[in-house]
Structure 1
């Protein structure tokens, strides 16, 4: 089979969803026009492990417009939008993804997309890159990586000198992390929490673990909705930044006693652990925005719970021996994609424009790049920004000839 999705009859609704996304992704649509005319990806096979959302569909259709053959699997068992997956199959994309995959399904789907012997791979989280290095002997032109967790894994592979092909860290582009990680995750995380719980944010004590770009965005938007926000950090630099941004900073051991909403965004394991659960208030809500479901020790929570109930979709109640109830959202997985729809299309316009142009760059430079992790070239970053501004109807102030010349000299001073 060239696909495995939940229900092909959902395709018509999926097409409408994709149309809605494309309406709000002007930069990517401009790139698609260029790809259709120039066919820079002609004859290239691409296998991708990405969240199968309407925005991803807009990217995949752009790659196809550029001449590529694409196979797609989901990068999280709960993030696939089944109507979008069905619509992509009808577009001629080999899709192996559905919402509610188990772990075995997840890795089998990665195996399926690698059967097409891709020349380029695209990943979100690093599982595809890891699978290739452990199980695949074919030669690749290169790959891309969408998120912080995956870039961290790839940098370790580079340091250990096991990386087999060049990878462009799309996550490290200014037009990715400043907007996708910070603004996109900030909004979509709260969207997921509200869809799962319908609680009032205002007045609550919210604890954000991690003050990277994702944590910054979540903390800022929780505060904007009236929450009293505490930040938990291990880095002295980021902790200092959080303090200077006006947030309280303390260890999780203290925050656990006073928090009412907890959100993890660290990329690390067991950030909220058994000893923290036992200190929490009755009714505490736990959500994760990191890529993998390891930041909240879900296994440990189950071990100390005497009763577990599903209250509503993506909301589970854990009653502890001390009688307190803790509420876990989306089984500790990415709350913004599991309980909601992920980032708004306007933000993913930037991220996926970087992805499309990075794939083109890999092909154009296939004999020049070493097996290393590369940042997105500045030219691509600035092109994406300009395309986005143009799509928003915003003009830049041009420099005069005098100003250009002034910036090229060193003699004039005070």
Structure 2
């Protein structure tokens, strides 16, 4: 355990030293203590950048009870946070059932502010009928925003600021950071060449745009699947081939899903895939590729590496599945996730949004809503200054 803590501390120290926006917020919060008397329940990827976020909230007086997301928890980071006195649930190898128990553990601590990713905590609060105990919260990702505005619509009598609705996050984190980290992760996991390879990107939201952009920048041949006519039109004008998944199944060599929706690649597509096709997902939930159906159709499933499975079909074809269909840039081998600068920006969005909840939740509407404009503009000014772009 001491070795695990030492390794985690070294990684966190490096990342902390390269997140100046959170450093400024941490110093300010240590004086103003906006979270004093509040318990923040968190469900978010537990990796070194998240540890710096939690340090910042704790400096502001928050008691934090946290768990990670399924498959992306980094054990050395958990060890460091526990050594600092925080209550943290979860480990890298947790099953989905264990992840559910981790979520329950966070809710059992009765937080009054939520920091959510995928709306798991919000859904748990609704299931327990404890909505009246929550002051408000934030939601990190597209998938969680869809749940809040879909299955949970009308059931949330407190404000939730959706970080992913911020144009800052869309540009800085989703397009450029996710785009970079997904392509980097594909290269690291597979050791395959990008130039000249045919890629199909499902979804042309901000993350899909970024993945397509960075693949093409490295010489990949890129096609886009998009069901929204306006986004499909944009992809076509950006120079990508645009078609349905059925139309591209025999053309593509690598398929990357980035939609936030389930069953993007399912049983109707599996028979069409060319031999050796690679399937990967960068959406929050591991449901964009129907992995259960894929393996049910298989004649044999073999694990080749920590994040590579070979799925053999009875007709002699095979496909490669990366990271079990989970978020490949955080669940894959040697996960790094998004760049430090992008997460410095993204987590400042989190901290200032949570500060707004703690100080003036009553000024906000109930339910899922965008980040207030003044927060976006303040962070944009700070980021430009940190980049030296204002000089």
Pick the TM interval, shorter chain. over 0.9
Does the 8 Å CA contact 1:26/1:388 hold for their aligned counterparts? no
In structure 1, what is the equivalent of residue 127 of structure 2?
134
In structure 2, what is the equivalent of residue 377 of structure 1?
372
Compared CA separation, residues 344 and 90, structure 1 to 2 (3 A): same
Does the 8 Å CA contact 1:133/1:164 hold for their aligned counterparts? no
Compared CA separation, residues 48 and 8, structure 1 to 2 (3 A): farther
In structure 2, what is the equivalent of residue 333 of structure 1?
326
The question of 1:182 aligning with 2:175 is answered: yes
In structure 2, what is the equivalent of residue 388 of structure 1?
383
- Once residues 393 and 29 of structure 1 are traced to their aligned partners in structure 2, the CA distance between those partners, rounded to angstroms, is 17
In structure 2, what is the equivalent of residue 3 of structure 1?
none
Shift of 1:195: 2.0
Shift of 1:372: 2.2
Structure 1 residues without counterparts, runs of 5 or longer? 1-6, 397-414
In structure 2, what is the equivalent of residue 207 of structure 1?
200
The question of 1:55 aligning with 2:49 is answered: yes
In structure 1, what is the equivalent of residue 111 of structure 2?
118
How many residue pairs end up in the alignment?
388
In structure 2, what is the equivalent of residue 34 of structure 1?
28
In structure 2, what is the equivalent of residue 321 of structure 1?
314
Does the 8 Å CA contact 2:163/2:350 hold for their aligned counterparts? yes
Residue 179 of structure 2 aligns to a residue whose secondary structure is helix
Compared CA separation, residues 21 and 136, structure 1 to 2 (3 A): farther
Deviations 1:201-253 (A, max 9, x none): 11100000000001000000011111100101101101110000000001111
Shift of 1:9: 4.3
Shift of 1:281: 1.4
- Once residues 122 and 2 of structure 2 are traced to their aligned partners in structure 1, the CA distance between those partners, rounded to angstroms, is 29
Q: Which of the residues 137, 144, 147 maps onto 2:138?
A: 144
The question of 1:281 aligning with 2:290 is answered: no
Residue 192 of structure 2 aligns to a residue whose secondary structure is coil
In structure 2, what is the equivalent of residue 44 of structure 1?
38
The question of 1:93 aligning with 2:100 is answered: no
Residue 85 of structure 1 aligns to a residue whose secondary structure is helix
Does the 8 Å CA contact 2:107/2:124 hold for their aligned counterparts? no
Does the 8 Å CA contact 2:107/2:121 hold for their aligned counterparts? no
Structure 2 residues without counterparts, runs of 5 or longer? none
Deviations 1:348-402 (A, max 9, x none): 1111000000111011113333322221111111121222222222326xxxxxx
In structure 2, what is the equivalent of residue 196 of structure 1?
189
Q: Which of the residues 160, 166, 184 maps onto 1:173?
A: 166
Shift of 1:157: 5.2
In structure 1, what is the equivalent of residue 17 of structure 2?
23
The question of 1:246 aligning with 2:216 is answered: no
Compared CA separation, residues 133 and 8, structure 1 to 2 (3 A): farther
131-140 vs 223-232, which deviates more?
131-140
Deviations 1:155-197 (A, max 9, x none): 2256x42212110111111221111111111011112212221
In structure 1, what is the equivalent of residue 7 of structure 2?
13
- Once residues 63 and 283 of structure 2 are traced to their aligned partners in structure 1, the CA distance between those partners, rounded to angstroms, is 30
Residue 303 of structure 2 aligns to a residue whose secondary structure is strand
In structure 2, what is the equivalent of residue 220 of structure 1?
213
Does the 8 Å CA contact 2:118/2:139 hold for their aligned counterparts? yes
Q: Runs (4+) of structure 1 moved beyond 3 Å?
A: none
- Once residues 157 and 207 of structure 1 are traced to their aligned partners in structure 2, the CA distance between those partners, rounded to angstroms, is 29
Residue 111 of structure 1 aligns to a residue whose secondary structure is helix
- Once residues 365 and 156 of structure 2 are traced to their aligned partners in structure 1, the CA distance between those partners, rounded to angstroms, is 10
Shift of 1:136: 4.5
In structure 1, what is the equivalent of residue 59 of structure 2?
65
Q: TM-score, normalised by structure 1?
A: 0.91
320-329 vs 85-94, which deviates more?
85-94
The question of 1:342 aligning with 2:345 is answered: no
Deviations 1:301-345 (A, max 9, x none): 112111111111110001111111100001100001011221111
Does the 8 Å CA contact 1:9/1:86 hold for their aligned counterparts? no
- Once residues 38 and 357 of structure 2 are traced to their aligned partners in structure 1, the CA distance between those partners, rounded to angstroms, is 11
- Once residues 271 and 184 of structure 1 are traced to their aligned partners in structure 2, the CA distance between those partners, rounded to angstroms, is 23
In structure 1, what is the equivalent of residue 248 of structure 2?
255
